[in-house]
Structure 1
């Protein structure tokens, strides 16, 4: 079998994966706090038909070798954690991180999840939860009869309760950062989990130790650039077509060979 058939097949498969990544980015262009993904490619093993530097005579060496590559493979999808735009929502429970860091969320199994999505709400018990109903760490409950809620830049939550003019402190939002945020494991619902690649979470107060500040009444938009993704989509389509053309050409060459 001609190697070009297999090589072009790996190219088509890799471009299919690239298109999946681009489609996922475009599908989440309106998702709060979403961070775009990028497929990373790697060339496959080489057939070493002529070793570079081999001796041709006792005194001479080959300046170049003969190495035939066997295609390409997608080895990873890296996530770009650049800051998304801040969009004013007017909702007192909407908060955005301006800078580095993640909100801590208590997952159903008791472990901690991490998110940039600050579209929080209140549940039936008055707890501050995510749009999926998961409690925001460390567990803040808003008392009944609350007239207004304030969240400072350093994450302190306070409320003015009916019959009182002084704000009542309710707690502080927990935030963490990671040495390698790209190593976090995505689990859906705008959530990530700690992994061996991300390193341990480094907890802190918003606005300190490199953590961003909290902006009440704002939401962080997706950092997907639609124009850039469309350009990547066209490039992917062209690369797929060229690999398909290589398979057709190889097939025609084999047909000619069988007629000889």
Structure 2
């Protein structure tokens, strides 16, 4: 098999993966709290035909040698956790994290999930939940006949009930932070899960230990830059075309040899 065919095949596969990552970013350009992905590539092992620095004569060495690469592969995807644009909604149950940290969510299997999506709702028991109905951790339940609901920048939840103008504290929102957020496992549904790569969660009140503050009536938009993704898509398309051209050229060379012999 012509070596260039295999090398170009790895390039096509890598660019196909890159395009899939870009398409997922663009599909989630309007998803609240979404964090964009970036494909990470590495070159494959080399065939060392002549070792750099090897003796070429009694008193001389090879300055560079002969090393032939065998292509590229996608080694991983990296989540970029910079804060997305904050969008004012003026909805009492919307909350955005301005800075580091994640809201904690109790998932059906008992595990704790982590999210940047602050679109909160009330369930039938007057408890704060996510759009999927998952309870916040710690659980925050509101009393009946609430006429005013507020969340302070440091996470204190207060309500005013009918017949009592004095605000009452009913809970404290906490944020979890990680040494390596890129190591979190993406579960979908705007949720992440702890892994050995992310490290254990560091739970604290908003504004403490380097975590961000909360903004009520605001949502954090996706951090995807549509123009940047479109430019990356064009670059990926051209790289794919060039690798396809290599396969076409290698095929023509093999065809020429087959016809002449």
TM-score (norm 1): 0.99
SS of residue matched to 1:165 = strand
1:214 is paired with a residue whose SS is strand
Cα deviation per residue 1:199-220 (whole Å; 9 max; x = unaligned)?
1111111011111000000000
Alpha-carbon separation, structure 1, partners of 2:30 and 2:123: 24
- Please state if 1:190 is matched with 2:190: yes
SS at match of 2:231: helix
In the alignment, which residue of structure 2 is the partner of 1:174?
Answer: 174
Mind listing any 5+ residue stretches in structure 1 that lack a counterpart? none
What residue in structure 2 maps to residue 103 of structure 1?
103
Corresponding pairs, count: 260
Structure 2: tracts of 5 or more residues without a match: none
Q: RMSD of the alignment, in Å?
A: 0.7
Identify the residue that residue 235 of structure 2 maps to in structure 1.
Answer: 235
As a proportion of its length, which structure holds more strand?
A: 2
Task: With the length of structure 2 as denominator, give the TM-score of the two structures.
Answer: 0.98
Q: Distance in 1 between matches of 2:35 and 2:113?
A: 16
Q: Does 1:26 align with 2:26?
A: yes
Alpha-carbon distance in 2 for matches of 1:118, 1:28? 16
- Alignment partners' CA distance in 2, 1:56 and 1:221: 61
Runs of 4+ in 1 over 4 A off after TM superposition: none
Could you report, residue by residue, the CA deviation over 1:232-259 in whole angstroms, capped at 9, with x for unpaired residues? Answer: 0000000000000100000000000111
- SS in structure 2 opposite 1:167? strand
The whole-number CA distance in structure 1 between the counterparts of 2:25 and 2:211 is 26
Distance in 1 between residues matched to 2:152 and 2:56, nearest whole Å: 75
Residue in 2 that maps onto 1:116: 116
State the shift of 1:59 in Å.
1.6
Q: CA deviation at 1:58?
A: 2.0
